[in-house]
Structure 1
Amino acid sequence: MGRMDDKVVLVTGAARGQGRSHALRLAREGAGVVALDACTTYDHIDYPLPTPADLEETARLVKADGGRIETMIADVRNSDELGAAVKLAVSSFGTLTTVCANAGIGGERGTMWNTHEEVWRTVLDVNLLGVWKTVRAAMPALIDNGGGSVILTSSLGGIRGLRHTSAYVAAKHGVVGLMRTLANEAGQYNIRVNAVLPGTTNTPLAMNKATFRLFRPDLDDPTMDDVRDTMQGLALLPTPWVEAEDITNAVLWLASDESRFVTGVELPVDGGWHAKF
């Protein structure tokens, strides 16, 4: 018996990284999964983004593991596409119980005053407006279900002022604020709302050459090995970064009935970075 046998989960940003990890584990635990990703590109975003083939690979991996999944290419900035995804969940699996609003991008690599306006708008639109639109689309189905769990992916940047990522940090702070408000508004419907706050995570969003150059500007072409010691210095525990499955473990707990009376919580998974002083 799985910990998610009676659950139906909508996961955004599911083509790779944390979203793929969430989809795989939640399906393995018995959930029906609807996996979304925009599978698109954005001007001025300086690392490779997921493709339709990546989303297909997520579905293949889930099915190979015996799981149930439906996929859709959908942009979290588009309310109509999100509404269609919610309808797909209900038509395919009978209900919707859980939302993992995980989709997000990075991109800017300089001071706030040198950030391109288009980058600012794109990062805010995907990372904050997209989370709001995802939850807004799902709330009627969660209310009809008689309750559920909403898990928003913020970041350590949702509670700390990280340099050279002003749009990302502003958006992720906004996600924490949205979580707090929604927890107060949705509790009467037996809907729990929490946020996970990943630290540096070994996924393409963080582990790319542009990020490496932020950590090691003294090198022309730094690698993961070159930034390891610097990243390790940020944490309390002996790890320079966490893995996607570490975030998934937190998401699974928040999605399951094991956390049935947990709401309004910011849960860092960052090796203790948030607590270091």
Structure 2
Amino acid sequence: MAGRFEGKVALITGAARGQGRGHAVRLAQEGADIIAVDICRQIDAVAYPLATSADLAETVSEVEALDRRIVAVEADVRDTKAMQAAVDEGITALGGVDIVLANAGIGMIRDGVEPATAFREVLEINLVGVWNTVHAAAPAMIEQGRGGSIVLTGSVMALTGRGGIGNAGMEGYGAAKHALVGLTRSWANWLAPHHIRVNSVHPTGVNTPMIMNEAMQEVLATMPADGPDMSNLMDVQLVEVSDISNAVAWLVSDEARYVTGVALPVDAGFLVK
């Protein structure tokens, strides 16, 4: 029996580990071939270790173990030309692109980074990088004429101000994720005539290296008792990557064929608490 994504090609950024790898494996399990993009090097301003070439190689191994094709490219989403080259390489090798998961992003900025630099660094990766990703792939999707689906990775911080803790990097994170909701709606209007749907998914804290690192834990531990409530309504501290991958798989499937322009929380009740 063919999977839901048999014959489809999915472009995924931040694919070396965490949510990106989870999405790649989840879609490959149901038949998709993968274009996997990740920077695979440290960014000086970031407070925790980023993915490596070895991490991206592990994603390749897991997808290939499912008997699916994968093109892996090390590229920086901030670099417009590099992103276009990565997408073009994947399209040439795999025969097109049908699904785009603009997932790459960073969290905590290290101490000592000048606030204005910290703010811009997060915006460049978490917002401009998403713009670069979609604009690298959308023209090919339009030209193919076979429709498609795009999902932007947001955050509960896109839908609430509770993450604004006077830290320039975190302010940049909230600003970028809020902006993704606007891009979702704008792009849904742009691409609907081409039968391409655009949605965003907004997780609470996910059990990945972006959350589970010393820098993030220090920030959470030093938040004032009378500060914003950062806990979930349901009795779970963190959700798992598979919880987000399940939501993404539904959004890009034909089961959601008339769902577009939506900001979908997967948040264990964080936003309604």
Give secondary structure in 1 for the equivalent of 2:135.
helix
Within the candidate set 260, 263, 268, 1:266 is matched to: 263
Per the alignment, residue 81 of structure 1 pairs with 82
Per the alignment, residue 98 of structure 1 pairs with 99
Take 1:40 and 1:159, find their aligned partners in 2: how far apart are those partners?
A: 30
> Is residue 204–residue 239 contact of structure 2 (8 Å, CA) maintained in 1?
yes
Take 1:3 and 1:232, find their aligned partners in 2: how far apart are those partners?
A: 39
Per the alignment, residue 53 of structure 2 pairs with 52
Runs of 4+ in 1 over 3 A off after TM superposition: none
Shift of 1:2: 0.7
Which ranges of structure 2 fall in alignment gaps of 5 or more residues?
none
Shift of 1:233: 7.0
> Is residue 105–residue 205 contact of structure 1 (8 Å, CA) maintained in 2?
yes
Count of residue correspondences? 262
Per the alignment, residue 238 of structure 2 pairs with 241
Q: Which amino acid aligns with 1:71?
A: A
Residue deviations 1:167-209, cap 9 Å, x none?
A: 1001111111111111111111111000000110000011111
Matched, 1:136 2:135: yes
Taking a change above 3 Å as real, the CA distance of residues 121 and 233 of structure 1, as seen in their structure-2 partners, is: closer
Shift of 1:89: 2.4
Which ranges of structure 1 fall in alignment gaps of 5 or more residues?
219-230
> Is residue 15–residue 56 contact of structure 1 (8 Å, CA) maintained in 2?
yes
Q: Which amino acid aligns with 1:195?
A: S
Shift of 1:257: 1.0
Matched, 1:181 2:186: yes
Q: Percent identity?
A: 48
Residue deviations 1:240-266, cap 9 Å, x none?
A: 110111110011111111111100000
> Is residue 154–residue 196 contact of structure 1 (8 Å, CA) maintained in 2?
yes
> Is residue 14–residue 36 contact of structure 1 (8 Å, CA) maintained in 2?
yes
Give secondary structure in 1 for the equivalent of 2:37.
strand
Alignment of 1:20-39 (within 5 A): 20-39=21-40
